[in-house]
Structure 1
Amino acid sequence: MMPIRRTVAAIAAAVLVSTLTLIQPATADDDEVAPTVGPLVFADEFDLPAGSPPDPTKWRHDIGGNGWGNAEHQYYTDSTDNIAHDGNGNLVITARQGNPGNYDCWYGKCEYTSGKITTAQTFNHAYGTYEARIKLPRGQGIWPAWWMLGDNFGDVGWPNSGEIDIMENIGREPGTVHGTVHGPGYSGGGGIGNGYTLPNGQEFADDFHVFKLEWAPGSLTWYVDGNQFFHLTPGGVGGNQWVFDHPFFMILNLAVGGEWPGYPDGSTQFPQTMVIDYIRVNALDGDGGGNAGQIVGVGGRCVDVAWGDSADGTQVQLANCSGNVAQNWNFASDGTVRALGKCLDVSGGSTADGARVQLWTCNGSGAQQWVHTGAGDLVNPQADKCLEATDPSGADGTPLRLWTCTGHANQKWTRA
């Protein structure tokens, strides 16, 4: 089997060219203990009214017809003709033949339209259990996928960012899906993965199936309907760099054509639909301690990661409570407070009044230790000081800092 990697060209301005992915075996550690499921950190049950677009607090469209590095023949639109809720608890991505929008593709006028959405701007996370229930389309040249790219994609490019394909299917293999990774030294034709084939001639377009990835430090494990079919550790990447220990974002798309699946022919019927019942992400136990939720401060506003950006150094602030994943904080058993796969951190490990509070990669330092007291203070024990909103009124966008505990309202926090 030879799946081809899929780029997110809208994140970096260039189209990344790639080649076919050769499925290779990887070493499994039979003695490894599966990660324990922790708190829910992302969920979309797709329960919006019929015709509604994807929830913009969770998903953003990736639009274009540049071939996506794979010589694909669809134009991804933001039209509800191509991606919308069905009113029955599903999100439906629809690939259609024709080009009513007269969209231009890299090779001329596109022959097909479809949909692609990502969480690049809303949810980046490291580790946990990723699970989705999906009914796949069928037909020669049809290519649905649920996959992830590293949050540093825009800085280091592909494949250095890492790519995790949780589920891919090509229409000419209606009963088989693939799980694959790409990284430096094992990208394109050297991608590492395995396939799973349904028993008794069943096809993935006949019914919904549950696809799951268990991701822990140094470990990736794939399942279909509870059946494990691939397990990968750093020892399985051929001595190359393991690039799967940092936050990733998710992507859902339905491609038409490309170098791996080939192109539609006279047997292919349109429209074709990829129907997603739910997507749920649970952190690892200990990456949240089972105490996930909002932290509410002065003015009734929530502790928020600015713009939902998981980059190191991102400002932590007060913002109107929205239920966005950038406001979902996990009080971990190791004393850290986490969102988007990273930790609430005092800049530079400072203990001074006014030290900036930010999001940063979890590192076990005293700058990332917090105690929520019975009086409602959120104290950093290293400094013996409190988390404080810099504006006593708690205006939207107010940055947070460290300050000597005073008992004032702008140092009081409740967990919701």
Structure 2
Amino acid sequence: MNSPRPTRRLLVSLASLMAFASLSALPAHGASPSAAEPAARSVGAPAARAAAAVTFADEFDGPAGAAVDGTKWQTETGDNADNHERQYYTAGNRNAALDGQGHLVVTARRENPGDYACWYGRCEYTSARLNTAGRFTTTYGHVEARMKIPRGQGMWPAFWMLGDDIGRVGWPDSGEIDVMENVGFEPSTVHGTLHGPGYSGSGGIGAGYTLPGGQAFADAFHTFAVDWSPNAVTWSVDGAVYQRRTPADLGGRRWVFDKPFFLILNLAVGGYWPGDPDGGTAFPQQLVVDHVRVSTGTAQPGAGPITGIGGRCVDVAGASPANGTAVQLYDCNGTAAQRWAVGTDGTIRALGKCLDVASGGTGDGTPVQLWDCNGTAAQQWALPAARDVVNPQANKCLDAAGGGSANGTRLRIWTCTGAAQQKWTVTR
């Protein structure tokens, strides 16, 4: 987003983070294969195909007034001069507590019971900020929170992530993925943004999502999510994708999102971007969180099977997310290897990766495979009403090799003929 805020620094000490951090970033991944890979073996037993694995979940079950689970979250304290926020983040359960009904309630109050000092003098507000540093990190996956946000001028709720190496490299080299931010003067709009070296603060790369018909996000719960894979981050609200970012969006600047990140939830009051509360802002205000979940990224909103000749499903062989894995026909079994999400960006995705024409080929018989989403024409697909699935670059159709319908039949591109082996039913 084009916000004027300069930083989103972590309040806990960098020394603490260095002690917590896992400093081994993952290696970079290639953009495309050098040659078509051989067909992978079919899977003999559907049980071998695991659905999306949940790697982190907090449903916030517990008695009213209880603090958050300290094995999952740590509570930050202090003010934030960098953004000119007005609140003091407190410890304990005063400003972050369970409500006894399966929610975490983060409360911003106009008060200062502890005589807290802020960058501007005596603090006027208190609130809470939680993070999972030292407790949980993830590299890639489906990251979501279902929340009901506060309302009012000066309110700034956020669900976001920071690179776990922030204690070593600092911000913005650590990278920041803002899953959701809202500022009170935009009650119908939320923002998703990437920050990194050379594209931080007001230069962050992102977009906004606006509810139709003048609805306000504070009126109901909504699910805010990113699907994050090598070289791609995709944002959605209630399952509706509204932007996708890749290294191609950075103008040659460094992509710093292929390494572990930790989660942050907070409710700020005031600051450069939202502005300060005014006479119309009622207090207390609450950010109510129903759940936070992280999975391996295979259960994407709006994903479903693609069925073809013989009633069999388009399938990722062996349910493997590895680059170059064959895409084939197989008995429909409802697993993640057969759940395909059709993106607004022209991609067809499963297991956090894209349906890809091997080596960007355009000739008849070029196999299709799973590969890191990279924004190339090899990963663009059109779905005309005739039930073809067409790669526009090659002007050829997705095709079951040899007209076969047996388990393990490899999929490829071929000149469009209208034959049964090129007809697909896409469930969305």
TM-score range for the pair, normalised by the shorter chain length: 0.5 to 0.7
Alignment of 1:151 with 2:153, yes or no, is no
Match for 2:2: what amino acid?
M
Correspondence for 1:311: none
After superposition, the Cα gap between the structure-2 partners of 1:192 and 1:83, relative to the gap in structure 1 and judged at 3 Å, is same
Correspondence for 2:9: 7
Correspondence for 2:72: 58
- 1:189 positional shift: 2.1
Gaps of 5+ in 2: 17-49, 300-318, 323-428
Match for 1:247: what amino acid?
P
Give the Cα–Cα distance (whole angstroms) in 2 for the partners of residues 148 and 37 of structure 1.
Answer: 24
The match for 1:261 among 274, 283, 297 is 274
Correspondence for 1:338: none
Give the Cα–Cα distance (whole angstroms) in 1 for the partners of residues 219 and 8 of structure 2.
Answer: 25
Correspondence for 2:96: 83
- 1:62 positional shift: 0.8
Match for 2:153: what amino acid?
Q
- 1:10 positional shift: 1.3
- 1:79 positional shift: 3.5
After superposition, the Cα gap between the structure-2 partners of 1:151 and 1:97, relative to the gap in structure 1 and judged at 3 Å, is same
- Does the 8 A contact of 2:95 with 2:128 survive in 1? yes
TM-score for both structures, normalised by structure 2:
0.60
Give the Cα–Cα distance (whole angstroms) in 2 for the partners of residues 79 and 40 of structure 1.
Answer: 27
- 1:80 positional shift: 1.8
Query: 5 Å matches for 1:240-319?
Result: 240-284=253-297
Query: 5 Å matches for 1:340-359?
Result: none
Correspondence for 2:25: none
Query: 5 Å matches for 1:192-207?
Result: 192-207=205-220
Secondary structure at 1:200 match in 2: helix
Correspondence for 1:41: 55
- Does the 8 A contact of 1:37 with 1:284 survive in 2? no
Give the Cα–Cα distance (whole angstroms) in 2 for the partners of residues 110 and 181 of structure 1.
Answer: 30
Correspondence for 2:382: none
- Which segments of structure 1 move beyond 3 Å, counting only runs of 4 or more? 332-335
- Could you say which structure has the higher strand fraction? 1
Larger Rg computed on CA atoms: 2
- 1:134 positional shift: 0.1
After superposition, the Cα gap between the structure-2 partners of 1:37 and 1:161, relative to the gap in structure 1 and judged at 3 Å, is farther
Which deviations, in whole Å up to 9, do the C-alpha atoms of 1:61-93 show, x marking residues without a partner? 0110242x2010100001322110000000000
Match for 1:244: what amino acid?
F
The match for 1:224 among 204, 228, 237 is 237
- 1:131 positional shift: 1.2
Give the Cα–Cα distance (whole angstroms) in 2 for the partners of residues 149 and 197 of structure 1.
Answer: 25
- 1:333 positional shift: 6.0
Correspondence for 2:35: none
The number of aligned residues is: 268
Match for 1:2: what amino acid?
N
Give the Cα–Cα distance (whole angstroms) in 2 for the partners of residues 60 and 50 of structure 1.
Answer: 19
- 1:277 positional shift: 0.1
Secondary structure at 1:189 match in 2: helix
Query: 5 Å matches for 1:165-176?
Result: 165-176=178-189
Give the Cα–Cα distance (whole angstroms) in 2 for the partners of residues 258 and 6 of structure 1.
Answer: 11
Match for 2:11: what amino acid?
A
Give the Cα–Cα distance (whole angstroms) in 2 for the partners of residues 76 and 334 of structure 1.
Answer: 41
Match for 1:8: what amino acid?
L
- Does the 8 A contact of 2:64 with 2:99 survive in 1? yes
- Does the 8 A contact of 1:147 with 1:165 survive in 2? yes
Give the Cα–Cα distance (whole angstroms) in 2 for the partners of residues 97 and 334 of structure 1.
Answer: 49
- 1:245 positional shift: 0.2
After superposition, the Cα gap between the structure-2 partners of 1:105 and 1:45, relative to the gap in structure 1 and judged at 3 Å, is same
Correspondence for 2:145: 132
The match for 2:226 among 202, 213, 231 is 213
Match for 1:142: what amino acid?
M
- Identity among equivalent positions (%) equals 58
RMSD between aligned residues: 2.0
